[in-house]
């Protein structure tokens, strides 16, 4: 009796213990086909202010596509918090969408899984050729020397958004062009009782995007030329410290932002509580939060000195969304047609306008719709002073490890602990140890 009960409890224990961690699924066996030519499943990333907004933007276009080709597209908009997990699960099980959006920084990591259709010359020919896309966007589609894992869909860049009224009240006539100017302006803004700059201290991706640019400006790289993690070199340490010091030493980022991870800093800016925001293509988001375009100005992200450009004058990552085809698709031809449709000039204009992003397609980019002052800054940044995040297979792990290190450093600042070169180096050392040993 006792042994039966023990066995029963044991079984319950076993199931409880593994319930949280067990992973089901099976292995997939290779390539796709054209077995179901009449339907496609499309996973879109959440580009608009909400999932409902995305559906409203995309559905009419999908209807157009159905009218042209007779292929019905089943749309699912996947929130960012789930997208990568969903893709991993789909990769593991072989049961996924036909076409999907990926964050362009994931390209090399997902490319390594082999789940995405490589865009070789033959596949590119189906959508009008590789030359249709601008180089900066193509630079973020997979590891160098390999066929791209995806094609660019929307391009974005970071810019400095500033509240015109707060700047006028603080007696600031033009947006800061260097970090020193930004810190000096921050002091004037603080004196007026507003918070100078926002940040998402607990958002790993945001942290990575910023420290990547700071590292560039210090002439540092997170990875060596042969793809090894090198987080503790002096230039990277200085770069990370400079970013965290915006909160710790310069006090332009309020300590409360250390726990922000849900775009609260965008809301703070939209509500007029905060003077500046470093964000990618924020116009549509700000509009949906009730801030009209004439209330804010857009300027390039500051540099250390001089003007934005290449090398140490980089002031943004190449941000954007790529469109990928799942290798296991049962409608490979239809998927290619859909990619062609989505990257056509007409659709590029419609979609990038709706999402306030820049078309990565050359011919669409020249359209008058993308010549507004806001888009001019973004377009200029993308063309001249944006750099792609490391295109290495470990990119996803890098985002997590270093993003967490920066998050913990912000938490230290919030808790009143000092942030020193040594403590930054220690945090980065720990991040580096978490990277796959290879």
Of 401, 424, 427, 428, which one interacts with another protein (CB under 8 A)? Answer: 401
Residue number with CB closer to another protein (2 or 67):
2
Q: How many CB atoms lie within 10 A of CB 372?
A: 15
Does the footprint of another protein cover residue 121 (CB under 8 A)? no
Does the footprint of another protein cover residue 33 (CB under 8 A)? no
Of 39, 295, 400, 423, which one interacts with another protein (CB under 8 A)? Answer: 400
Of 21, 35, 145, 368, which one interacts with another protein (CB under 8 A)? Answer: 21
Does the footprint of another protein cover residue 115 (CB under 8 A)? yes
Stretch that binds another protein, among 137-145, 180-188, 315-323, 428-436 (CB under 8 A): 428-436
Of 39, 46, 113, 190, which one interacts with another protein (CB under 8 A)? Answer: 113
Stretch that binds another protein, among 89-97, 135-143, 182-190, 352-360 (CB under 8 A): 89-97
3-state secondary structure the chain: CHHHHHHHHHHHHHHHHHHCCCCCCCCCCCCCCCCCCCEEEEEEECCCCCHHHHHHHHHHHHHHHHHHHCCEEEEEEECHHHHHHHHHHHHHHCCCCCEEEEEHHHHHHHHHHCCECCCCHHHHHHCCCHHHECHHHHCCCCCCCCCCCCEEEEEECEEEEEEHHHHHHCCCCCCCCEHHHHHHHHHHHHHCCCEEECCCCCCHHHHHHHHHHHHHHCCCCCECCCCCECCCCHHHHHHHHHHHHHHHCCCCCCHHHHHCCCCHHHHHHHCCCEEEEEEECCHHHHHHCCCCHHHEEEECCCECCCCCCCHHHCCEECEEEEEEEECCCCCHHHHHHHHHHHCCHHHHHHHHHHCCCECCEHHHHCCHHHCCHHHHHHHHHHHHCEECCCCCCCHHHHHHHHHHHHHHHHHHHHCCCCCCHHHHHHHHHHHHHCCCCC
Stretch that binds another protein, among 138-146, 214-222, 274-282, 408-416 (CB under 8 A): 408-416
Residue number with CB closer to another protein (299 or 426):
426
Does the footprint of another protein cover residue 2 (CB under 8 A)? yes
Q: Whole-number minimum distance, CB 384 to another protein, in Å?
A: 33
Does the footprint of another protein cover residue 261 (CB under 8 A)? yes
Stretch that binds another protein, among 90-98, 155-163, 178-186, 316-324 (CB under 8 A): 90-98
Of 15, 50, 68, 310, which one interacts with another protein (CB under 8 A)? Answer: 15
Q: Whole-number minimum distance, CB 16 to another protein, in Å?
A: 5
Of 69, 202, 274, 343, which one interacts with another protein (CB under 8 A)? Answer: 202
Residue number with CB closer to another protein (133 or 269):
269
Residue number with CB closer to another protein (11 or 422):
11
Binding site for another protein (CB under 8 A): 1-2, 5-6, 9-24, 27-29, 81, 85, 88, 91-92, 94, 109, 112-115, 201-202, 204, 255-256, 258-259, 261, 393, 396-397, 400-401, 403-404, 407-408, 410-412, 414-415, 430, 433-434, 436
């Amino acid at each position: 009796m006792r042994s039966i009960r023990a066995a029963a409890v044991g079984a319950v224990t076993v199931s409880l213990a593994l319930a949280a961690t067990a992973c089901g699924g099976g292995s997939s066996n290779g390539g796709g086909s054209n077995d179901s030519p009449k339907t496609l499943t499309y996973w879109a990333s959440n580009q608009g202010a909400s999932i409902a907004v995305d559906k409203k933007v995309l559905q009419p276009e999908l209807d157009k596509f159905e009218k042209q080709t007779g292929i019905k597209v089943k749309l699912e908009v996947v929130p960012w918090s789930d997208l990568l997990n969903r893709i991993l699960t789909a990769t593991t099980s072989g049961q996924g969408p036909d076409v999907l959006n990926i964050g362009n920084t994931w390209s090399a990591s997902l490319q390594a899984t082999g789940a995405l259709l490589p865009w070789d010359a033959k596949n590119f020919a189906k959508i009008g050729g590789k030359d249709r896309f601008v180089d900066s966007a193509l630079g973020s589609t997979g590891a160098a020397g390999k066929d791209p894992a995806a094609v660019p869909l929307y391009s974005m860049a970071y810019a400095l958004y500033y509240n015109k009224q707060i700047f006028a009240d603080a007696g600031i006539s033009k947006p800061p062009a260097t970090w020193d100017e930004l810190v000096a302006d921050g002091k004037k803004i603080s004196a007026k009782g507003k918070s100078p700059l926002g940040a998402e201290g607990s958002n790993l991706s945001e942290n990575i995007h910023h420290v990547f640019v700071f590292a560039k400006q210090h002439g540092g790289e997170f990875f060596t030329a042969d793809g090894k993690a090198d987080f503790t070199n002096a230039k990277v340490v200085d770069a990370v410290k400079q970013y965290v010091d915006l909160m710790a030493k310069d006090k332009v980022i309020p300590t409360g932002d250390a726990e922000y991870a849900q775009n609260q800093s965008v809301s703070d800016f939209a509500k007029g509580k905060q003077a500046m925001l470093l964000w990618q293509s924020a116009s549509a988001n700000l509009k949906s939060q009730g801030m009209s375009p004439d209330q804010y100005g857009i300027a390039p992200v500051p540099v250390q000195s001089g003007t934005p450009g290449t090398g140490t004058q980089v002031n943004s990552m190449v941000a954007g969304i790529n469109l990928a085809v799942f290798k296991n698709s049962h409608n490979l031809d239809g998927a290619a047609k859909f990619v062609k449709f989505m990257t056509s000039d007409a659709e590029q204009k419609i979609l990038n306008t709706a999402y306030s992003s820049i078309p990565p397609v050359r011919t669409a980019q020249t359209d008058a719709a993308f010549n507004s002052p806001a888009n001019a800054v973004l377009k200029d940044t993308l063309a001249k002073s944006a750099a792609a995040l490391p295109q290495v297979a470990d990119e996803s792990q890098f985002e997590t490890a270093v993003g967490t290190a920066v998050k913990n450093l912000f938490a230290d600042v919030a808790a009143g602990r000092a942030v020193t070169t040594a403590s930054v180096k220690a945090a980065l050392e720990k991040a580096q140890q978490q990277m796959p040993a290879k």
